[in-house]
Structure 1
Amino acid sequence: MSFQFIRSMRWSVVLILAIASLFLSGCNPRNYRTEAAQVPQLVLVSPTDPKTFNYANNQTFPSVFPFIYEGLTRENGVTGNYEPALAESWKFSPDNKRIVFTLRPNLKWSDGTPLTSDDVVFTYEDIVFNPKIPTDQKETIQIGTQKVFPKVRKLNDRQVEFILPEPFAPLLAATAAPEGVMILPKHALAEAVKNKLPDGNSAFISTWGTDTEPKKIITNGAYVIDSYSAGQRLVLKRNPYYWRKDQSGKQLPYIDRIIWQFIENQDTQLLRFRSGDLDVMGDTRPLRPEYFSLLKREDKRGNFQVLNGGPWSGVLYLTFNLSKAKDQNGKPFVDPIKSKWFNTLEFRQAVAYAIDRDRINTNLFRGLGVVQNSPISVQSPFSLKEGLRVYNYNPQKSRELLKKAGFKYNDRGQLFDSEGNRVRFTLMTNANNLTRVAIGAQVRQDLSKIGIEVDYNPINFNVLIDRINGSREWDAHMIGFTGGIEPQGLANLWMTSGGSHSFNLTQQPGQPKMQGYVANDWEKEIDRLFIEGARELDPEKRKKIYGEFQKLVQEQLPVIHLVNDSALMAVRNRVQGLKYSGLPSWGLWNIQELRIKE
Structure 2
Amino acid sequence: MKKFLVVVFAVLIFVSVFAAEKYVYFDENTPYLGANATGKYGGTLIIPSLGSGPKTMNAVVAQETSSTDVINRFMGTLIQLDNYARMHPALAKKCELEVTDDEKMIITLWLREGVRWSDGTPFTADDFVFSMNEIYCNPDIPNDMADLLEDSQGRLPVAEKVDDYTVRIVYQEPYRLAVRYAAGIRIFPKHIAEPWVKEGKFKEMWTVESINKRELVGLGPYIPVEYVPDQYVRLERNPYYFKKDANGQQLPYLDGLVFKIIPDLNAIRLAFENGEVDVYGVTAQFYPDIKNKAKEKGWIVGTGGPTFGTTFLTLNFNCPDPVKRKWFRNEFFRKAIAYSMDKDAMIDTLMAGLGTAQWGPISAAAAAYYNDDALRKYPYDLDYARMMLQMGGFSWDKDGNLIDEDGNKVEFILMTNAGNTTREGVCNILRDELSKLGIKVTFSPIDFNTLVQKLVSTGDWEAIVIGLTGSDEPQGGANVWKLDGALHFWNYSPEVKDFVSPDIYEVPEWEAEIDRIFTENVRILDQQKVYEMFSRYQELVSEHLPLIYTIQQLYLYAYTDKLHNAEPTAFGGIWAWNEEWIWKEQ
Structure-2-length-normalised TM-score: 0.88
Partner of 1:479: 466
- Is 2:500 aligned against 1:515? yes
Question: Alignment length, in residue pairs?
Answer: 534
- Is 2:43 aligned against 1:40? yes
Gaps of 5+ in 1: 1-37, 196-201, 324-332
Equivalent-residue separation in structure 2 for 1:514 and 1:100 (angstroms): 43
Partner of 1:75: 81
Distance 1:132 1:432, change over 3 A: farther
Partner of 1:113: 121
Pick from 293, 305, 315: which aligns with 2:300?
305
Equivalent-residue separation in structure 1 for 2:205 and 2:58 (angstroms): 7
Segment of structure 1 superposing worse, 205-214 or 260-269 = 205-214
Equivalent-residue separation in structure 2 for 1:172 and 1:369 (angstroms): 34
Partner of 1:344: 330
One-letter amino acid of the counterpart of residue 156, structure 2 = F
One-letter amino acid of the counterpart of residue 92, structure 1 = L
- Is 2:540 aligned against 1:541? no
Pick from 385, 388, 391: which aligns with 2:378?
391
One-letter amino acid of the counterpart of residue 383, structure 1 = Y
Equivalent-residue separation in structure 1 for 2:555 and 2:499 (angstroms): 40
One-letter amino acid of the counterpart of residue 48, structure 2 = V
8 Å CA contact 1:40–1:596 kept in 2: the answer is yes
One-letter amino acid of the counterpart of residue 305, structure 1 = I
Distance 1:507 1:133, change over 3 A: farther
DSSP 3-state at the match of 1:425: strand
DSSP 3-state at the match of 2:483: coil
One-letter amino acid of the counterpart of residue 303, structure 2 = N
8 Å CA contact 1:306–1:569 kept in 2: the answer is yes
Equivalent-residue separation in structure 1 for 2:302 and 2:107 (angstroms): 39
Partner of 1:99: 107
Partner of 1:365: 351
* 1:112 Cα offset (Å): 0.8
* 1:171 Cα offset (Å): 1.9
Pick from 132, 135, 139: which aligns with 1:131?
139
* 1:374 Cα offset (Å): 2.0
Partner of 1:158: 165
8 Å CA contact 1:56–1:136 kept in 2: the answer is yes
8 Å CA contact 2:129–2:161 kept in 1: the answer is yes
Partner of 2:439: 452
Equivalent-residue separation in structure 2 for 1:358 and 1:167 (angstroms): 45
Pick from 171, 187, 192: which aligns with 2:191?
187
Equivalent-residue separation in structure 2 for 1:366 and 1:400 (angstroms): 32
Higher alpha-carbon Rg = 1
Pick from 79, 87, 90: which aligns with 2:92?
87
Equivalent-residue separation in structure 1 for 2:91 and 2:499 (angstroms): 40
After superposition, the C-alpha distances for 1:413-455 in whole angstroms (9 at most, x for unaligned) are 2100000000001111000211111111001011111111111
Equivalent-residue separation in structure 1 for 2:317 and 2:187 (angstroms): 35
- Is 2:536 aligned against 1:524? no
Equivalent-residue separation in structure 2 for 1:345 and 1:293 (angstroms): 40
Gaps of 5+ in 2: 1-40
Partner of 2:26: none
Equivalent-residue separation in structure 2 for 1:225 and 1:399 (angstroms): 53
DSSP 3-state at the match of 2:361: coil
* 1:211 Cα offset (Å): 2.0
Distance 1:225 1:305, change over 3 A: same
* 1:514 Cα offset (Å): 5.8
Structure-1-length-normalised TM-score: 0.86
8 Å CA contact 2:81–2:577 kept in 1: the answer is no
Partner of 2:15: none
DSSP 3-state at the match of 1:294: helix
8 Å CA contact 1:71–1:175 kept in 2: the answer is no
* 1:321 Cα offset (Å): 0.5
Equivalent-residue separation in structure 2 for 1:307 and 1:586 (angstroms): 11
8 Å CA contact 1:252–1:593 kept in 2: the answer is yes
One-letter amino acid of the counterpart of residue 45, structure 1 = P
Equivalent-residue separation in structure 1 for 2:426 and 2:468 (angstroms): 16
* 1:302 Cα offset (Å): 0.6
DSSP 3-state at the match of 2:121: coil
* 1:579 Cα offset (Å): 1.6
8 Å CA contact 2:483–2:494 kept in 1: the answer is no
- Is 2:417 aligned against 1:419? no
Equivalent-residue separation in structure 2 for 1:432 and 1:132 (angstroms): 36
- Is 2:207 aligned against 1:220? no
After superposition, the C-alpha distances for 1:1-45 in whole angstroms (9 at most, x for unaligned) are xxxxxxxxxxxxxxxxxxxxxxxxxxxxxxxxxxxxx94111111
- Is 2:549 aligned against 1:561? yes
* CA RMSD after TM alignment: 1.8
Equivalent-residue separation in structure 2 for 1:275 and 1:459 (angstroms): 27
Partner of 2:33: none
Distance 1:186 1:518, change over 3 A: farther
DSSP 3-state at the match of 2:374: coil
One-letter amino acid of the counterpart of residue 430, structure 1 = N
Identity %, equivalent residues: 34
Partner of 1:13: none
Equivalent-residue separation in structure 2 for 1:134 and 1:229 (angstroms): 30
* 1:47 Cα offset (Å): 1.2
* 1:147 Cα offset (Å): 0.6
One-letter amino acid of the counterpart of residue 342, structure 2 = D
DSSP 3-state at the match of 2:415: strand
* 1:116 Cα offset (Å): 1.2
Pick from 352, 355, 358: which aligns with 2:341?
355
Partner of 2:31: none
Partner of 1:12: none
Equivalent-residue separation in structure 2 for 1:250 and 1:66 (angstroms): 23
8 Å CA contact 1:73–1:86 kept in 2: the answer is yes
One-letter amino acid of the counterpart of residue 548, structure 1 = R
Equivalent-residue separation in structure 1 for 2:255 and 2:105 (angstroms): 42
Equivalent-residue separation in structure 2 for 1:277 and 1:53 (angstroms): 25
DSSP 3-state at the match of 1:537: coil
Partner of 1:22: none
One-letter amino acid of the counterpart of residue 279, structure 2 = V
Equivalent-residue separation in structure 2 for 1:127 and 1:234 (angstroms): 26
Equivalent-residue separation in structure 1 for 2:187 and 2:499 (angstroms): 32
* 1:585 Cα offset (Å): 5.7
Equivalent-residue separation in structure 2 for 1:266 and 1:170 (angstroms): 36
One-letter amino acid of the counterpart of residue 148, structure 2 = T
Segment of structure 1 superposing worse, 38-47 or 395-404 = 38-47
After superposition, the C-alpha distances for 1:360-396 in whole angstroms (9 at most, x for unaligned) are 1111111111211221122211111223111111111
One-letter amino acid of the counterpart of residue 107, structure 2 = I
After superposition, the C-alpha distances for 1:555-598 in whole angstroms (9 at most, x for unaligned) are 11100011012221210011111121212367421111101123
Segment of structure 1 superposing worse, 59-68 or 416-425 = 59-68
DSSP 3-state at the match of 1:191: helix
